[in-house]
């Protein structure tokens, strides 16, 4: 049985896939390195945890876990519809927004078709494209020495790669792993210029953290752009990464297609109640945003003092450029009980992506780097 060549059996898109690289869990670090009291600044989680309201809702719902969840997510969708001023049938719920990104690929891509994304974009876009056998088309990012937005999405380069076989363009605003962002007006101009056969996904996973209004809110553009899909998540500012909830906003006809491929019970019952309660606690989001802004500034000034270049970020992490490899620094930080994210898998070899932590965690990271450098 072992002689079976599974790879030969797999469909070509899957055979060529390289799996997503997650951040190292704290447990694993402590086991492997024999350290304790470690901190994780690797997965863009909220250092404040989750809203107490969300946690209370989960506890209250525990006794009902023997029941299947509401396959339609009625209450959560109603709350989201109210928040965004759209009808419930504009919403597609996901097991994290990763889930809805996969639905988009399943609905709009197949062998012979293409999706377009930027160099240094979120790793899930190429994975979703390849898993359904479609062709990934990479637009070069803005150069490393760009004055305003190094490594950012280049809308012109993206537009130039759209052709007759393109069905999806993926844009993250702000982007992960770079933290860079796009001006909302320019994204709207880009949307207006796209041909009608191209779906544009605007992934707003970090939008709650953006201090600037310049990014805009793509969910308010849906009426003007029938080919627009906006994705949001409860994993980042809402602090519910472990429960896995995200969603897409789109015109109802498009949402209907996404919901056809959605597994009926993809969002579990605890996640549904937690997300709904978290939405109601906007004071927590405010607190998270304020703490993040202070932390971004602390990391930026601290890193620059160490001679490290920092890419501008509107998210809850920074991408920092060093004069040695990220892998080497990552190892030295792990020995000191600090997990960050090396970015060599994105082609960013001399970089590390560092999630904004609490004031004390940021200080510990900066002190450790001062020692190492």
Ligand X SMILES: *Cc1c(COP(=O)(O)O)cnc(C)c1O
> SS3 for 342?
strand
Please state, in angstroms and as integers, the Cα–Cα distance from residue 127 to each residue in 96, 101, 133, 248, following that order.
15, 10, 10, 18
Report in angstroms the alpha-carbon separations of 82 from 78, 85, 98, 232.
6, 5, 23, 15
Q: Kindly report whether the peptide bond that precedes residue 174 is cis, defined as omega within 30 degrees of 0.
A: yes
Nearer to ligand X, 203 or 208 (CB): 203
Question: Closest distance between ligand X and the C-beta of residue 37, in Å?
Answer: 26
Nearer to ligand X, 152 or 302 (CB): 152
- Applying CB under 6 A, does 233 fall inside the site for ligand X? yes
Number of residues that bind ligand X (CB under 6 A): 14
164-183 residues near ligand X, rule: CB under 6 A: 172, 176
Query: Should residue 266 be labelled a site residue for ligand X when binding is judged by CB under 6 A?
Result: no
Min CB(12)–ligand X separation in Å: 26
Alpha helix ranges (H) inside 109-170: 124-131, 155-160
Picking from 318, 315, 310, the residue whose alpha carbon sits closest to that of residue 289 is: 315
When asked if residue 39 is in the footprint of ligand X (CB under 6 A), the reply is no
**Contact stretch for ligand X (CB under 6 A) within 96-104, 217-225, 260-268, 300-308:** 96-104
- Residues 198-227 touching ligand X, rule: CB under 6 A, are 203, 205
**Least Å distance between CB 241 and ligand X?**
6
Q: Closer to ligand X at the Cβ: 61 or 172?
A: 172
**Residues of this chain, 120-139, that bind ligand X according to CB under 6 A:** 122
For 17, 91, 170, the CA distances from 7, given in Å and listed in that order, are: 11, 37, 29
The helix or strand, by DSSP H or E, that contains position 218, with its residue range, turns out to be none
**By CB under 6 A, is residue 157 in contact with ligand X?**
no
Choose, by CB under 6 A, the member of 184, 246, 302, 342 that binds ligand X: 246
Q: Does 329 bind ligand X (CB under 6 A)?
A: no
Scanning 72-80, 94-102, 134-142, 207-215 for contacts with ligand X by CB under 6 A, the matching segment is 94-102
Cα(15)–Cα(232) distance, integer angstroms: 30
Residue 235 engages ligand X in binding (rule: CB under 6 A): yes
Determine which residue in the list 35, 48, 81, 241 makes contact with ligand X, applying CB under 6 A: 241
Specify the DSSP element, H or E, that contains 85.
none
Smallest distance, ligand X to C-beta of residue 174, A: 8
Tokens of 283: 């004071």
Residue 201: beta bridge partners? Answer: 170, 229
DSSP state of 140: P
Q: Which residues bind ligand X (CB under 6 A)?
A: 44, 96-98, 122, 172, 176, 203, 205, 233, 235-236, 241, 246
């Amino acid at each position: 049985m072992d002689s079976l060549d599974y790879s030969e059996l797999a469909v070509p898109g899957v055979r060529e896939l390289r799996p997503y690289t997650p951040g190292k869990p704290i447990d694993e670090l402590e086991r492997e390195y024999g350290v304790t009291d470690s901190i994780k600044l690797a997965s863009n989680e909220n250092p404040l945890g989750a809203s107490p309201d969300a946690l209370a809702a989960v506890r209250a719902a525990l006794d009902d876990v023997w029941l299947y969840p509401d396959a339609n997510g009625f209450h959560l969708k109603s709350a989201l519809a109210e928040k965004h001023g759209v009808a419930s049938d504009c919403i597609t719920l996901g097991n994290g927004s990763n889930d809805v990104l996969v639905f988009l690929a399943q609905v709009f891509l197949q062998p012979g078709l293409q999706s377009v994304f930027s160099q240094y974009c979120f790793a899930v876009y190429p994975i979703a494209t390849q898993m359904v056998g479609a062709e990934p088309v990479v637009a070069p990012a803005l150069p490393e020495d760009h004055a305003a937005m190094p490594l950012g999405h280049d809308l012109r380069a993206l537009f130039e790669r759209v052709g007759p076989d393109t069905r999806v363009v993926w844009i993250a605003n702000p982007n992960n792993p770079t933290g860079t962002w796009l001006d909302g007006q320019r994204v709207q101009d880009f949307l207006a210029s796209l041909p009608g056969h191209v779906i544009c996904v605007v992934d707003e996973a970090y939008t709650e953290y953006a201090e600037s209004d310049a990014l805009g809110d793509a969910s308010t553009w849906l009426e003007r752009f029938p080919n627009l899909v906006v994705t949001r998540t409860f994993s980042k500012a809402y602090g519910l990464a472990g429960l896995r909830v995200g969603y897409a906003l789109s015109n109802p006809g498009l949402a209907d297609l996404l919901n056809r491929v959605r597994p009926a019970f993809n969002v579990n019952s605890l996640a549904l109640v937690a997300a709904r309660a978290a939405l109601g606690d906007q004071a927590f989001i405010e607190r998270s945003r304020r703490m993040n802004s202070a932390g971004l500034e602390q990391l930026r000034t601290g890193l620059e003092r160490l001679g490290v270049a920092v890419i501008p970020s509107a998210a809850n992490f920074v991408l920092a450029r060093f004069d040695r490899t990220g892998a080497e620094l990552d190892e030295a930080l792990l020995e000191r009980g600090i997990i960050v994210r090396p970015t060599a898998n994105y082609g960013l070899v001399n970089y590390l992506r560092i999630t904004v932590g609490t004031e004390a965690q940021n200080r510990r990271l900066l002190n450790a780097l001062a020692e190492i450098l």
